[in-house]
């Protein structure tokens, strides 16, 4: 059942939230040992919450648009009293004293949190192999990675553990695993969804978004979690129209561009073939399609791998062994800080902290961080020109289908290249999503990325619905 | 190396060199908001440790800062009061590890502060340039346990985050102060301004006003700045004066004995009256400033700034100018003191109510150090009038004033209650005549021109009248009797 | 790869700034990996960026101001229960060695 179906059944009293939740907990219990999508399954809490929702329905109250829908949360979303680790040893056992805004919103909409999902440590990675608690496997082929960093969330939805999961996307961390696991994944416009309670990786790039099996489910969840939040200064202060209502409006007359810089070089032929199929589907639904070009997009990866680590190096300074999480003692506070951080962070996190520290350090700021912020301007300008001619852009979400576990762990640069298609949109703040579109030569899912200008979610979802229906 | 050494102003100066002290001050003031700079936990002094905390001020993962509107308004008030330009500003992260800094970075304003290019006028009329006055968050407090509480000998430390996130304004002055006394005046004036505009309570002893001073010296006439040292832990106006005096002396001694000044941070020790080296500038931290991505640029509208400007109260300088206009012959120090005591309104009203300006100001400076209590401007004006009419002596007026401060009322009633009936002229004349007869020898010496005997006769009169007589009237009478 | 962009010593300095302690092996490995990344990002050196302003925030969002109204505070016991070492209602740390910079 999809999330929309579950909510309808629970609200109408056809099904109890408890039976829905029990059913999903059973699937998790039966399957997660092979997948390791979850860091924590909150079974008792989920059942109690389901009973509350059933109680509300019984007493004639509407629990909300996601009534009884099981939701898995990436383990970097703060949940009061429920461990939130970012898959890092340094935060092991930390139970936040507050809920993230999205967690409150889901709760108020009647959703039921079933657990916290595995991820690359502090969201740094593209395969979920950088987890402090072991990798997650791709449910489509357990010898493959699920993508990352929100691999646990993508896998949870793909495996049927939950119809909905939330992830975070800093450079593709929702879209790329969605593509690799064959589910829908949305990175909303920066500022559309509150970041309050999302443990920061790179503040100017991070955005929370949903994983679902259908486009309609993604729209329903986005409508719940989007909106202004007085606790996030970067949240867009005007409420936006819901995306669910315009899903069926089609793409007739829309101008769609195939973004050349993300669709040619380095894209596997089987992935490129699926993109072509998607383009034909949009065309036959009435869209006009042409090649589009944003030349600076090719520099996205370079700008991203300076900006994101720079912000991260500062965001992750607080893990110092003083207030929460791990402490490895030492004779002095500086020694204790160093011992704690050296033991608590994994290699990829250390690497990025070092890159970021270097890019910001005296004498290098202008050459690295300052220059990257200018490249960011260049990319934004290029996209601005593209939006004068196009309503939407498409590209592959990932250059390849899911790659084997262990293939890229020893080669950080090869891993970074996995983000080449997804990174530019984080730099520009625009909306983007990945929609599953067939399979590659290896039988593994291929995702098509749809990109829209800032706050272009309604149009983006229309195209997503058309692609989904064309399969 | 020796070439460089020779360029240090004053190095190896002869013993008779005249020196100039150069002081630049950085003042941190806690803003008088109800909540913290970026979150809603209370901004309150004291309290049980770690009770004024929330996810943001504790730097918990996932928390985000949201700027306090009132703190911005207070910062703008300070900027306007210091004649600064209010400009679009950007918050930055200053990265360094320290346990009382919950995020291990401080949110501050770096290259684009909210207030720039202002000035502050000392009571003397000297203007001191203000480079900037920017917003930033305070840290928590670390208490060192064991080793007598000394930081280097402590066994461990305890951290309280109640103060973390309290809004601060950091006011950076140009190095244009030329003595310990000027430094003292500058801080005193700045404090008066901060209090006047309601930006801060200005309490140095509670740490809501903290002063770091940069001190250097150079031979008089040199136009280059010497190497400076930064002095921390100056917790009162008095210690500010002492610390600057000491530090300037230390640097002069160092230079005259041929040693260069090392740029360093020094700690003022109130007990031994010395500054002690903390660390040298080479150990300076690489703060890796970059714009705070969780906050957007702050761009207060012109309308808002104008609104704040309109609502500003009269500033100490304006108040001094007004009082000086009303009491032009009164010394500027006394004018400044009256303003500092917030008695300028009282003085102005008493003067415009007919009280002689000099007498009014004398009372304020000499007799109202503990406040004006129930004293009204009408009563003050009337009291001064009675003195001038000879109805009260200076001594009596002081006693009457004390009664008025204590319980209010009119000076007439108070004088009556105290039994200060003015002596009538006849009574005084007969008293003086009888004293002249009684002290014939002294009288003849007085008539011969021995001025000292004026005091003798006045004293006799005062003794006989228990101070009721007006000394001036007695002198006049003596002179007229002498013929 | 062209000239070396980051030396082992610089790498060690950066690690110290970030309060990370690396083994000799890690230092060698990270130096090579960081150098490879810096070499890749050097592609932007060819771009003429002189006239461009840096972008800090992708979207032009106005700053949000919060009214100065006190809100909820955290429960101290709940917070200190998460602390590695607490004493007297405070967070306990080993000697700090010096004042804040």
For residue A451, is it within any domain?
yes
Domain end (from A197, A227, A257): A227
Segment C53-73 mean pLDDT: 90
- Judged by average pLDDT, the poorest of A8-22, A109-123, A289-303, C3-17 is C3-17
Mean pLDDT of chain C: 92
Residues A421-463: pLDDT tens digits?
999 999 999 999 999 999 999 999 999 999 999 999 999 999 9
Q: Are A434 and A448 in contact (CB under 8 A)?
A: yes
**pLDDT band at residue B479 using 50, 70 and 90 as cut-offs:** confident
C18 to chain B, any CB pair closer than 8 A? The answer is: no
Catalytic residue (one of A16, A88, A150, A173):
A173
pLDDT at A327 exceeding the cut of 80: yes
Largest CA distance in chain A: 70
**Residue A179: CB partners within 8 Å, gap ≥ 6?**
A147, A185, A396, A397, A398, A434, A436, A445, A446, A447, A449
pLDDT at A173 exceeding the cut of 80: yes
Three-state DSSP state, B87 = coil
Catalytic residue (one of A16, A87, A149, A150):
A149
Using CB atoms, pick whichever of A235, A303, A357 lies closest to residue C18.
A357
Q: Where are the alpha helices (DSSP H) in B41-145?
A: 69-81
| Dihedral angle computed from the Cα positions of residues B103, B109, B112 and B116, in that order, rounded to the nearest 10 degrees | 180
pLDDT at B221 exceeding the cut of 70: yes
pLDDT (0 to 100) of residue B450 = 84
Q: Which residues from B are below 8 Å from C64, CB to CB?
A: 66-67, 296
A182 & A296 share domain: no
User: Which string of DSSP letters, residue by residue, matches B365-402?
Assistant: III-TT--TT--HHHHHHHHHHHHTTSS-HHHHHHHHH
Backbone region of residue B23 per phi and psi (left: phi > 0; alpha: psi in -120 to 50; beta: other values):
beta
pTM: 0.91
Segment B398-411 mean pLDDT: 92
pLDDT (0 to 100) of residue B281 = 53
**Active-site residue, A149 included:** yes
**Residue A293: CB partners within 8 Å, gap ≥ 6?**
A259, A260, A261, A386
The CATH number that applies at residue A94 is 3.90.1300.10
Which residue is associated with the tokens 């590890």? B97
Domain end (from A193, A227, A261): A227
**pLDDT band at residue B3 using 50, 70 and 90 as cut-offs:** very low
A214 & A252 share domain: no
Strands (E), A202-357: 207-212, 255-259, 288-292
A208 & A62 share domain: yes
Tell me the torsion sign for CA atoms C84, C90, C94, C98: positive
Q: Which residues from C are below 8 Å from A104, CB to CB?
A: none
**Residue A320: CB partners within 8 Å, gap ≥ 6?**
A337, A340, A341, B97, B99, B104, C19
Backbone region of residue B140 per phi and psi (left: phi > 0; alpha: psi in -120 to 50; beta: other values):
beta
**pLDDT band at residue B1 using 50, 70 and 90 as cut-offs:** very low
Q: A375 — phi, psi (to 5°)?
A: -60, -35
Decide if B279 and C62 are in contact by the 8 Å CB cutoff.
no
Classify residue B91 as exposed, middle or buried by CB count within 10 Å of its CB (0-12, 13-18, 19+). Answer: buried
pLDDT (0 to 100) of residue B12 = 82
Nearest-CA residue of chain C relative to A95? C82
A200 & A258 share domain: no
Using CB atoms, pick whichever of B58, B97, B288 lies closest to residue A323.
B58
pLDDT (0 to 100) of residue C2 = 55
Other residues' Cβ atoms within 10 Å of the Cβ of residue C70: 16
Mean pLDDT of chain A: 97
Angle at A123 between CA A121 and CA A124, to 5 degrees: 75
Q: DSSP 3-state helix, strand, coil percentages of chain A (rounded to 5)?
A: 45, 15, 40
Residues 56-85 of C with CB under 8 A from A: 56-59, 61-64, 66, 74-75, 78-79, 82-85
For residue A321, is it within any domain?
no
Q: Which of A181, A84, A202 shows the shortest CA–CA distance to A127?
A: A181
Work out how many domains chain A is built from and give that number: 2
Using CB atoms, pick whichever of C56, C69, C94 lies closest to residue B35.
C69
Backbone region of residue A147 per phi and psi (left: phi > 0; alpha: psi in -120 to 50; beta: other values):
left
A80 & A121 share domain: yes
Nearest-CA residue of chain C relative to A331? C94
Instruction: Give helix then strand counts, H and E, for chain C.
Output: 3, 3
pLDDT (0 to 100) of residue B17 = 86
| Dihedral angle computed from the Cα positions of residues B253, B257, B258 and B262, in that order, rounded to the nearest 10 degrees | -30
pLDDT (0 to 100) of residue B9 = 83
Domain end (from A192, A227, A262): A227
Strands (E), A317-374: none
Size of interface B-C (CB pairs under 8 A): 137
Tokens for B396? 């009596």
For residue A86, is it within any domain?
yes
Q: How far apart are CA C99 and CA B41, in angstroms?
A: 26
For residue A342, is it within any domain?
no
Residues B37-57: pLDDT tens digits?
999 999 998 899 999 999 999
Segment B137-155 mean pLDDT: 87
Q: Where are the alpha helices (DSSP H) in A185-234?
A: 215-225
A374 to chain B, any CB pair closer than 8 A? The answer is: no
- Judged by average pLDDT, the poorest of A387-391, B167-171, B273-277 is B273-277
**Active-site residue, A371 included:** no
A283 & A166 share domain: no
Q: How far apart are CA B324 and CA B464, in angstroms?
A: 41
A436 & A295 share domain: yes
Decide if B40 and C97 are in contact by the 8 Å CB cutoff.
no
pLDDT (0 to 100) of residue B157 = 95
pLDDT at C58 exceeding the cut of 70: yes
Question: Which of A91, A203, A357 best tests the C interface by mutation, with the highest count of C CBs <10 A?
Answer: A357
Tell me the β-bridge partners of B280: B264
Q: Are B382 and B410 in contact (CB under 8 A)?
A: yes
B277 to chain C, any CB pair closer than 8 A? The answer is: no
Report the run of H or E that residue A73 belongs to, with start and end. strand A70-74
**pLDDT band at residue B7 using 50, 70 and 90 as cut-offs:** low
pLDDT at B2 exceeding the cut of 70: no
Nearest-CA residue of chain C relative to A233? C64
**pLDDT band at residue B5 using 50, 70 and 90 as cut-offs:** very low
For residue A399, is it within any domain?
yes
For residue A344, is it within any domain?
no
Nearest-CA residue of chain C relative to B294? C57
A258 & A222 share domain: no
pLDDT (0 to 100) of residue B483 = 72
Segment B302-319 mean pLDDT: 95
- Host domain of residue A147: 3-227
A205 & A262 share domain: no
Residues C13-48: pLDDT tens digits?
999 999 999 999 999 999 999 999 999 999 988 899
Segment A236-253 mean pLDDT: 95
Segment B200-215 mean pLDDT: 92
Residues B151-196: pLDDT tens digits?
778 899 999 999 999 999 999 999 999 999 999 999 999 999 999 9
pLDDT at A71 exceeding the cut of 80: yes
Report the run of H or E that residue C65 belongs to, with start and end. strand C65-66
B151 to chain C, any CB pair closer than 8 A? The answer is: yes
Decide if C54 and A373 are in contact by the 8 Å CB cutoff.
yes
Segment B188-216 mean pLDDT: 93
| Distances from the Cα of B16 to the Cα of B12, B19, B227, B256, angstroms | 11, 9, 21, 10
Q: How far apart are CA C8 and CA B352, in angstroms?
A: 78
Segment B460-468 mean pLDDT: 80
Classify residue B311 as exposed, middle or buried by CB count within 10 Å of its CB (0-12, 13-18, 19+). Answer: exposed
Q: Are B366 and B343 in contact (CB under 8 A)?
A: no
pLDDT at B26 exceeding the cut of 50: yes
A384 DSSP assignment: H
**Active-site residue, A233 included:** no
pLDDT (0 to 100) of residue C95 = 93
- Domains and their CATH numbers in chain B: 2-307 (no CATH), 316-417 (no CATH), 426-482 (1.10.10)
C55 to chain B, any CB pair closer than 8 A? The answer is: no
Which one of B212-216, B260-264, B330-334 scores highest in mean pLDDT?
B212-216
For residue A350, is it within any domain?
no
Which residue is associated with the tokens 């360093």? B264
For residue A329, is it within any domain?
no
Percent of chain A residues past pLDDT 70, beyond the cut:
100
Percent of chain A residues past pLDDT 90, beyond the cut:
98
Residue-wise burial string across B243-274, b where 16 or more C-beta atoms lie within 10 A, e elsewhere:
bbbbbbebbbebbbeeeebeebbbbbeeeeee
Residues A88-127: pLDDT tens digits?
999 988 999 999 999 999 999 999 999 999 999 999 999 9
Report the run of H or E that residue A169 belongs to, with start and end. strand A164-169
pLDDT (0 to 100) of residue B283 = 55
| Distances from the Cα of A451 to the Cα of A257, A392, A461, B310, angstroms | 10, 6, 10, 49
Catalytic residue (one of A74, A127, A187, A398):
A74
A215 & A259 share domain: no
C12 to chain A, any CB pair closer than 8 A? The answer is: no
Percent of chain B residues past pLDDT 70, beyond the cut:
97
Strands (E), A359-424: 392-396
Distance from CA of C42 to the nearest CA of B (A): 21
pLDDT at B280 exceeding the cut of 70: no
Residues A363-378: pLDDT tens digits?
899 999 999 999 999 9
- Domains and their CATH numbers in chain C: 8-46 (1.10.20)
pLDDT at A63 exceeding the cut of 90: yes
pLDDT (0 to 100) of residue B191 = 94
Residues B368-390: pLDDT tens digits?
989 999 999 999 999 999 988 87
A222 & A262 share domain: no
A294 & A263 share domain: yes
Q: Which residues from C are below 8 Å from A363, CB to CB?
A: none
């Amino acid at each position: 059942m999809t999330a929309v179906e579950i909510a309808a059944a629970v609200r109408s009293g056809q099904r109890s939230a408890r039976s829905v939740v029990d059913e999903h907990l059973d699937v998790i219990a039966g399957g997660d040992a092979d997948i390791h999508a979850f860091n924590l399954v909150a079974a008792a809490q989920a059942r109690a919450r389901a009973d509350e929702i059933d109680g509300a329905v019984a007493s004639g109250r509407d629990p909300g648009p996601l009534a009884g829908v099981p939701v898995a949360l990436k383990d970097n979303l703060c949940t009061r009293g429920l461990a939130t680790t970012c898959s890092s040893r340094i935060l092991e056992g930390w139970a936040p004293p507050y809920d993230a805004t999205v967690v409150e919103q889901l709760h108020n909409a009647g959703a039921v949190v079933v657990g916290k999902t595995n991820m690359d440590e502090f969201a740094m990675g593209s395969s979920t192999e950088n987890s402090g608690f072991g990798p997650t496997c791709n449910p489509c082929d357990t010898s493959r990675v699920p993508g990352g960093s929100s691999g646990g969330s993508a896998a949870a939805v793909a495996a049927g553990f939950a119809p909905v999961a939330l992830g975070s996307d800093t450079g593709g961390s929702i879209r790329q695993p969605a593509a690799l696991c064959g589910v829908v994944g949305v990175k909303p416009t920066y500022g559309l969804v509150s970041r309050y309670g999302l443990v920061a990786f790179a503040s100017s790039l991070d955005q929370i978004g949903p994983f679902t099996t259908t486009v309609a489910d993604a729209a329903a969840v986005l409508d719940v979690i989007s909106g202004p939040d007085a606790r996030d200064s970067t949240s867009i202060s005007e409420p936006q129209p819901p995306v669910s209502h315009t899903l069926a409006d089609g793409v007739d007359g829309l101008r769609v561009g195939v973004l050349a810089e993300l669709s040619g070089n380095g894209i596997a032929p089987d992935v490129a073939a699926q993109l072509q199929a998607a383009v034909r589907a949009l065309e036959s639904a009435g869209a006009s399609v042409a090649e589009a070009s944003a030349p600076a997009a090719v520099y996205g990866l370079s700008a991203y791998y300076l900006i994101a680590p720079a912000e991260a190096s500062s965001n992750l300074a607080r893990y110092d062994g003083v207030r929460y999480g791990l402490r490895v003692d030492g004779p002095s506070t500086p020694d204790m800080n160093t011992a704690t951080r050296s033991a608590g962070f994994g290699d990829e996190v250390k690497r990025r902290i070092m890159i970021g520290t270097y890019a910001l350090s005296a004498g290098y700021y202008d050459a690295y961080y300052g220059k990257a912020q200018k490249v960011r301007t260049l990319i934004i300008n290029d996209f601005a020109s593209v939006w004068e001619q196009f309503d939407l852009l498409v590209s592959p979400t990932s250059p390849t289908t899911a790659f084997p576990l262990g293939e890229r762990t020893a080669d950080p640069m090869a891993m970074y290249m996995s983000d080449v298609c997804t990174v530019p949109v984080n730099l520009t703040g625009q909306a983007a999503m990945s929609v599953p579109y067939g399979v590659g030569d290896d039988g593994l899912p291929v995702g098509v990325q749809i990109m829209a200008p800032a706050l272009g979610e309604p149009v983006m979802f229309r195209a997503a619905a058309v692609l989904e229906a064309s399969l | 190396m020796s070439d460089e050494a020779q360029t240090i102003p004053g190095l190896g100066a002869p013993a008779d060199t005249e020196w100039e002290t150069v002081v630049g001050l950085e003042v941190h003031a806690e803003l008088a908001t109800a909540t913290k700079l970026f979150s809603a936990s209370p901004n309150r002094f004291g309290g049980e440790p770690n009770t004024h905390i929330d996810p943001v001020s504790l730097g918990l993962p996932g928390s985000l800062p949201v700027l306090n509107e009132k703190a911005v308004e207070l910062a703008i008030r300070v900027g306007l009061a210091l004649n600064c330009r209010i400009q679009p500003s950007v918050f930055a992260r200053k990265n360094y590890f320290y346990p009382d800094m919950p995020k291990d970075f401080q949110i501050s304003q770096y290259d684009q502060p909210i207030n720039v290019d202002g000035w502050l006028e000392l009571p003397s009329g000297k203007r001191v340039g203000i480079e900037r006055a920017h917003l930033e968050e305070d840290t928590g407090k670390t208490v060192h346990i064991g080793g007598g509480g000394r930081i280097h000998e402590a066994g461990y430390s305890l951290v309280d985050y109640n103060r973390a996130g309290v809004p601060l304004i950091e006011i950076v002055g140009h190095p244009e102060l030329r003595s310990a006394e000027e430094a003292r005046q500058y801080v005193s004036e700045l404090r008066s301004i901060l209090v006047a505009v309601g930006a801060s309570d200005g309490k140095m002893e509670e740490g809501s006003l903290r002063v770091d001073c940069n001190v250097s010296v150079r031979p008089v006439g040199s136009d280059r700045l010497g190497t400076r040292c930064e002095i921390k832990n100056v917790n009162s106006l008095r210690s500010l004066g002492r610390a600057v005096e000491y530090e300037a002396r230390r640097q002069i001694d160092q230079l005259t004995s041929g040693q260069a000044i090392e740029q360093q941070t020094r700690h003022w020790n109130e007990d031994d009256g010395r500054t002690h080296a903390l660390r040298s500038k080479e150990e300076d931290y690489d703060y890796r400033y970059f714009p705070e991505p969780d906050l957007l640029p702050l761009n207060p509208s012109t309308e808002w700034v104008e609104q704040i400007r309109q609502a500003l109260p009269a500033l100490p300088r304006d108040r001094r100018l007004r009082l000086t206009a009303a009491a032009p012959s009164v010394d500027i120090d006394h004018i400044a003191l009256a303003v500092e005591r917030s008695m300028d309104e009282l003085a102005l009203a008493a003067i415009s109510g007919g009280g002689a300006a000099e007498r009014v100001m004398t009372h304020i400076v000499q007799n109202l150090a503990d406040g004006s209590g129930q004293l009204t401007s009408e009563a003050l004006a009337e009291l001064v009038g009675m003195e001038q009419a000879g109805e009260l002596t200076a001594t009596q007026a002081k006693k009457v004033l004390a009664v008025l401060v204590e319980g209010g009322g009119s000076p007439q009633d108070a004088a009556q209650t105290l039994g200060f009936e003015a002596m009538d002229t006849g009574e005084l004349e007969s008293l003086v005549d009888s004293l002249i007869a009684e002290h014939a020898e002294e009288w003849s010496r007085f008539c011969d021109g021995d001025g000292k005997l004026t005091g003798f006769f006045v004293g006799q009169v005062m003794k006989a009248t228990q101070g009721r007589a007006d000394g001036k009237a007695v002198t006049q009478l003596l002179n007229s009797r002498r013929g | 790869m062209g000239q070396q962009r980051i030396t082992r010593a610089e790498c060690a300095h950066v690690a110290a700034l970030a309060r990370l302690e690396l083994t000799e092996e890690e230092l060698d490995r990270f130096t090579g990996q960081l150098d490879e990344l810096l070499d890749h990002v050097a592609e932007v050196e060819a771009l003429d960026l002189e006239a461009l302003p840096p972008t800090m925030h992708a979207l032009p969002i106005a700053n949000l101001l919060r009214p100065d109204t006190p809100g909820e505070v955290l429960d101290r016991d709940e917070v200190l229960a998460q602390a590695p070492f607490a004493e007297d209602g405070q967070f306990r740390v080993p000697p700090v060695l010096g004042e804040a910079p």
